[in-house]
Amino acid sequence: MDRRNFLGLLAASSLSALSVSSRLWADDDDNQASSLTAVPANTGLSGHIVVVGGGMAGNTLAKYLRMWGGTGVTVTLVEKETTYTSNIMSNLVLNGQRSLDSLSYRRDTLTGHYGVSLRIGEVTAIESANKRVLLADGGMLAYDHLVLAPGLEFDLLPGMGSASEYDTLIPHAWQAGPQTQLLRDQLLAMPAGGTVVISIPRAPYRCPPGPYERACVIADWLKRNKPGSRVVVLDANADITVEKDNFLNAFNVTHAGIIEYKPGCAITQVNSSTREIMYTQNGVSVLIAAGVFNPIPPQRAPDLLGKTGLLNSPDGRFAAVDVLSYESTVLPGIHIIGDASHTTQPKAGHVANQEAKVCADAILRRLSGQQPDPAPVTNSACYSPITASTASWLSGVYQYDPASGTMKLSKLAASAGATNRNYEDMSTWFNALMQDSFG
Ligand SMILES: Cc1cc2nc3c(=O)[nH]c(=O)nc-3n(C[C@H](O)[C@H](O)[C@H](O)COP(=O)(O)OP(=O)(O)OC[C@H]3O[C@@H](n4cnc5c(N)ncnc54)[C@H](O)[C@@H]3O)c2cc1C
């Protein structure tokens, strides 16, 4: 499948009413930056929406609520951090191709142009009966609709005493930031001939191709900078979960002799200080000592949602939603978008952006007394660097299926291998997505 087909596949899913649109896929980033849509006045809609979390999902939602809803719709975004650091592309910090600064996004356009009220702080409790949220600083915010977009939290691995071990000894770096830099520093400090161990949790986890992509980026860098080193991938899943052909080729051909891929591995004990890892594969217990250990831990929606009684997915770790509106299936008036929600779509930034638009549209329709769009269509896209100059990609289109009440995969396509052209297109795609979400 070539680039024309890739763009065609995405266009097939574009929602004119939801502006998922060609603007997101334009090649000229400067044009996008200079074409900010004005917030309309007098749409006749009014209401106060509180959004918790200003990442890929929450920031997009806050922007589109104002852009489509107009000045009568007031939006307050509560976010812990003053700037957002993109996870997408953060694997390229590990090989020195990107800096964390280059992945940092401010919310000036959101507040200055779109008129969203930004409250830097942490929501610690939700009082759904009183329709208000409580903040760690003692503040309180009342809402008409509440949207939760807080991303994920990470489990400890067996043998770990506290989450601070991720910050100091064995960074997961699955939330881009200081741990990403620590992992980069550990790779730089590792002697040539060392072993990097990456562990992958059982699906669902954030960014299905991301761990395999990371193994490739690290292997490619080790080849040039730490001769004789290897990457051991301990995958809790029975097989490569996505883009199997591309990653098998990457492991067995492009990075042959460097990446050792081990499916069906369950980690049973970790010593963060010595970086010794005990795991079982096919019933056999194995001990491996790593020079650098990058555990990607099992993931779940944040405890805030658990305390509120929202974690009703079959495994009890995520919030089940009605995908026409992203409203909780247990607590009406509370919507959950992005990685914290349980849907049939992958946990990905591109999907978080799409869910935000469907949710914004549904809330605005409700403010005007209408039902949500009965046939939403979304898409996902993911580019994976395989070396410092080649990438592969995967894209899917999801359509609402009334029979099952889920978003059903209607088209799936992957690149035929990794190419330089894909690597160039990756930047275009990334810049456009971030412009749409934060610009
Ligand atoms: C290495 C890597 C590569 C990736 N590559 C891709 C890719 O190529 N394509 C793709 O589509 N996706 C990719 N992803 C996945 C993508 O980053 C996530 O799916 C996406 O960030 C999820 O968006 P979100 O809004 O749900 O969560 P986040 O982006 O994590 O945002 C959550 C926000 O909520 C805030 N928050 C949390 N709790 C509170 C609270 N109580 N009060 C206030 N604020 C709070 C946080 O500070 C954060 O800013 C990648 C991920 C990784 C780790």
Neighbours of 11 (CB within 10 A): 14
List per-residue pLDDT tens for the chain, 439 residues long: 444 444 444 444 433 333 333 333 333 343 444 579 999 998 999 999 999 999 999 999 999 999 999 999 999 999 999 999 999 999 999 999 999 999 999 999 999 999 999 999 999 999 999 999 999 999 999 999 999 999 999 999 999 999 999 999 999 999 999 999 999 999 999 999 999 999 999 999 999 999 999 999 999 999 999 999 999 999 999 999 999 999 999 999 999 999 999 999 999 999 999 999 999 999 999 999 999 999 999 999 999 999 999 999 999 999 999 999 999 999 999 999 999 999 999 999 999 999 999 999 999 999 999 999 999 999 999 999 999 999 999 999 999 999 999 999 999 999 999 999 999 999 999 999 999 999 9
Ligand 1 within 6 A of 52 CB?
A: yes
60, 64, 87: which to mutate for ligand 1, most atoms within 8 A of CB?
Answer: 87
Which residue's CA is the nearest one to ligand 1's atom 37? 150
Residue 77 backbone phi and psi in degrees, to 5: -100, 125
191 CA from centroid of ligand 1 (Å): 32
Q: According to the model, what pLDDT value does residue 21 have?
A: 34
**Residue 376: cis peptide before it, omega within 30 degrees of 0:** no
Angle between helices 420-438 and 349-367 (to 10 degrees): 30
The secondary structure of residue 30, as a DSSP letter, is H
Instruction: Retrieve residue 170's tokens.
Output: 């064995």
Which residue's alpha carbon is nearest to atom 38 within ligand 1?
150
Q: 229, 398 in Cβ contact below 8 A?
A: no
**How far is Cα 179 from Cα 168, in angstroms, rounded to an integer?**
8
Distance CA 350, CA 358 (A): 13
pLDDT attached to residue 285: 98
Ramachandran quadrant class, 428 (left: phi over 0; alpha: psi -120 to 50; beta: rest)? alpha
Residue 25: predicted pLDDT: 32
Task: Please indicate whether residue 94, judged by its CB atom, sits closer than 6 Å to ligand 1.
Answer: no
Q: How far apart are CA 213 and CA 226, in angstroms?
A: 19
Rounded to two decimals, the pTM is: 0.94
Helix (H) or strand (E) holding 126: strand 123-127
Q: How far is the CA of 153 from the centre of ligand 1 (A)?
A: 10
- Amino acid in position 15: L
Cβ of residue 92 lying under 6 Å from some atom of ligand 1: no
Ligand 1 atom nearest residue 90's Cα: 1
For the CA of 173, the nearest atom of ligand 1: 53
Distance CA 117, CA 77 (A): 6
> Is the torsion defined by CA of 187, 188, 189, 191 positive or negative?
positive
Pairwise CA distance, residues 80 & 166, whole Å: 20
Per-residue model confidence (pLDDT) at position 34: 54
CA distance 300 to 302: 6
Quick check: CB of 378 below 6 Å from ligand 1?
no
pLDDT of residue 83: 97
Is residue 208 in contact with ligand 1, taking CB distance under 6 Å? no
The answer to whether the beta carbons of residues 355 and 326 sit under 8 Å apart is yes
- Alpha carbon of 259 to ligand 1 centroid (Å): 27
- The residue among 165, 24, 204, 172 whose CA lies nearest residue 91 is 172
For ligand 1, the distance from its centroid to the CA atom of residue 349, given in whole angstroms, is 7
